[in-house]
């Protein structure tokens, strides 16, 4: 392990020197620096370096510590932010691996992402996005303090308490708006061309629904949307499916558009609602050639109803696991656009300062051993995403295509095995390999790329 650590840390040196090491503020634990970095002192450029380099690194990588000391001793702006420099250095080390999903996440972002997957946080309850440097409300969450205060989609938050919000990192802005339940936050808001106005909102616990459901076409078609594969998804999905199926619809539309993924074990549970027991959901392949099969758990309530799956380029990771599995088992007709193409698995390592190091450990493949990484899942029926003009008028060509196919009788019931004669081209059989249970619930499948829309 020491040899591996030395090799990895040597990669830091070049990145640190050229200064290209600040991607998303990624970093490593403070412990690395606090235990080994020299205190900043005033010295000339020609001052001799100290002998503070840890003994285990003297032979293999003295350059890193030489560079660290030179910067601390000579950089003209003092004091130097040691944490930021550490985060930048290790961010560069991780970035040098060339895998966008192996990433260091600083404590602030790590806390946000954890709350996102848990489905609740304390704040005002609005989905926001940085648009041209302006913190813009995409929509208030129904029933939350932001909704009750009258905030609207398109409102721009100009100021939070005494801090102006412009060209700010979205996570920094979110940290100002969120806060303990029962406390107040003062916002200055711009609405269109109207004069800016002030509003005071009392923060509360915000529960973000992961599932929304409704009936279409006079209750003849059930529609269920899953926003992410977080902790609440299985319970909310089961409830929505039971309520929808009680109305005896002729078919179900399951919407994964814009769903960036989530937990691996949640993806298996969701797949188990639609596919019969003991069917392969994905194949996980590791660098040493080993592979592991993940199978459905049984007990699904929607294994027999005709199914249409909606996807687009925002459907990633766990969404693609489900889409590929439904395709290979001929369980659904897929409508929309090709998915994102994230077919890798990460383990998350919690570091001493609550930051996280996420390391890609494997790629996953569909039940028929078809790659997903950098390829995605191509729909059976490709329909472009709605244009801005169509969205503004509530027109959804992808959803309408699914409705039309159901009404025309193009979607058939699945066979009892989970296979059917729907519009899916058969693929080669999955390879024989070692089966396994869900042994590590800390494997992640998404949120290693950051969606610009977040909850405040």
pLDDT confidence bin for 52, thresholds 50/70/90: low
Looking from the CA of 107 toward its CB, the CA atoms found within 13 Å total 8
Torsion of Cα atoms, 160 then 163 then 164 then 167, to 10°: -100
Contact by Cβ (8 Å): 199, 171: no
Contacts of 48 (CB under 8 A, 6+ apart): none
**Cis ω before 79 (30° cut-off from 0):** yes
At 42 the pLDDT is: 28
pLDDT tens digits along 349-397? 988 888 889 899 999 999 999 999 999 999 999 999 988 788 778 899 9
Ranges for all domains in the chain classified under CATH 3.90.226.10:
211-444
Cα(324)–Cα(186) distance, integer angstroms: 46
pLDDT confidence bin for 247, thresholds 50/70/90: very high
pLDDT tens digits along 188-199? 999 989 999 999
At 53 the pLDDT is: 58
Q: How many CB atoms lie under 10 A from the CB of residue 3? A: 8
Tokens of 40: 């900043």
Burial of 310 (C-beta count, 10 Å sphere; 0-12/13-18/19+): buried
Alpha helix (H) residue ranges in 19-98: 30-36, 55-58, 62-74, 82-95
Mean pLDDT of the chain: 79
Q: How many helices (H) and strands (E) does the chain have?
A: 13, 21
For residue 160, report the phi and psi dihedrals to the nearest 5 degrees: -120, 115
pLDDT tens digits along 121-173? 889 998 887 888 899 987 788 889 999 999 988 899 999 999 999 888 777 78
Best-predicted range by mean pLDDT (57-71, 99-113, 281-295): 281-295
Which amino acids are annotated catalytic? 317, 328, 342
Contacts of 414 (CB under 8 A, 6+ apart): 303, 304, 306, 307, 330, 331, 420, 422
**The total number of residues written for the chain in this structure:** 456
Domain at 211-444: CATH architecture: Alpha-Beta Complex (3.90)
Q: Which residue has the tokens 């503004």?
A: 392
Residue 436 has pLDDT above 90, yes or no: no
Domain at 121-207: CATH architecture: Roll (2.30)
Residue 248 has pLDDT above 90, yes or no: yes
At 312 the pLDDT is: 92
pLDDT confidence bin for 418, thresholds 50/70/90: very low
Contact by Cβ (8 Å): 378, 338: yes
């Amino acid at each position: 392990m020491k040899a591996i650590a030395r090799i990895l840390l040597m990669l830091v040196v070049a990145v640190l020197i050229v200064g290209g090491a600040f991607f998303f503020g990624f970093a490593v634990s403070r412990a690395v620096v606090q235990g080994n970095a020299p205190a900043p002192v005033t010295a000339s450029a020609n001052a001799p370096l100290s002998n503070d380099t840890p003994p285990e690194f003297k032979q293999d990588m003295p350059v890193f510590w030489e560079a660290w000391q030179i910067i601390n001793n000579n950089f003209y702006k003092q004091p130097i932010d040691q944490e930021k420099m550490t985060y930048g250095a290790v961010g560069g080390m991780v970035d040098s691996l060339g895998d966008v999903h192996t990433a260091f996440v600083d404590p602030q972002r790590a806390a946000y992402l954890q709350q996102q997957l848990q489905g609740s946080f304390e704040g005002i309850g609005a989905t926001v996005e940085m648009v041209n440097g302006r913190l813009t409300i995409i929509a208030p969450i129904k029933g939350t303090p932001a909704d009750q205060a009258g905030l609207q989609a398109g409102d721009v938050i100009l100021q939070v308490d005494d801090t102006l919000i412009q060209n700010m990192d979205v996570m920094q802005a979110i940290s100002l708006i969120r806060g303990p339940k029962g406390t107040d936050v003062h916002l200055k808001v711009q609405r269109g061309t109207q004069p800016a106005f002030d509003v005071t909102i009392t923060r509360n616990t915000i529960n973000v629904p992961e599932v929304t459901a409704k009936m279409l076409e006079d209750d003849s078609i059930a529609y269920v949307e899953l926003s992410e594969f977080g902790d609440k998804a299985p319970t909310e999905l089961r409830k929505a499916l039971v309520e929808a199926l009680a109305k005896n619809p002729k078919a179900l539309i399951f919407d994964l558009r814009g769903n960036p993924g989530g937990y691996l074990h949640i993806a298996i549970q969701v797949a188990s609602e639609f596919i019969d027991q003991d069917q392969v959901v994905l194949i996980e392949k590791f660098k040493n050639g080993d592979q592991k099969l993940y199978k459905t758990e049984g007990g699904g309530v929607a294994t027999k109803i005709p199914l249409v799956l909606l996807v687009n380029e925002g459907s990633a990771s766990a969404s693609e696991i489900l889409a590929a599995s439904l395709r290979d088992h001929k369980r659904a007709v897929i409508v929309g656009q090709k998915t994102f193409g994230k077919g890798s698995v990460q383990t998350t390592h919690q570091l001493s300062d609550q930051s996280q190091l996420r390391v890609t450990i494997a790629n996953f493949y569909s039940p028929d051993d078809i790659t997903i990484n950098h390829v995605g899942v191509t729909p059976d029926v490709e329909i472009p995403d709605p244009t801005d003009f169509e969205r503004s008028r509530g027109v959804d060509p992808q959803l309408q295509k699914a409705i039309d196919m159901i009404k025309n009788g193009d979607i058939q019931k699945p066979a009892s095995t989970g296979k059917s004669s729907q519009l899916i081209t058969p693929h080669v059989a999955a390879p024989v390999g070692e089966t396994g249970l869900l042994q590590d619930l800390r494997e992640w499948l998404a949120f290693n790329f950051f969606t610009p829309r977040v909850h405040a």
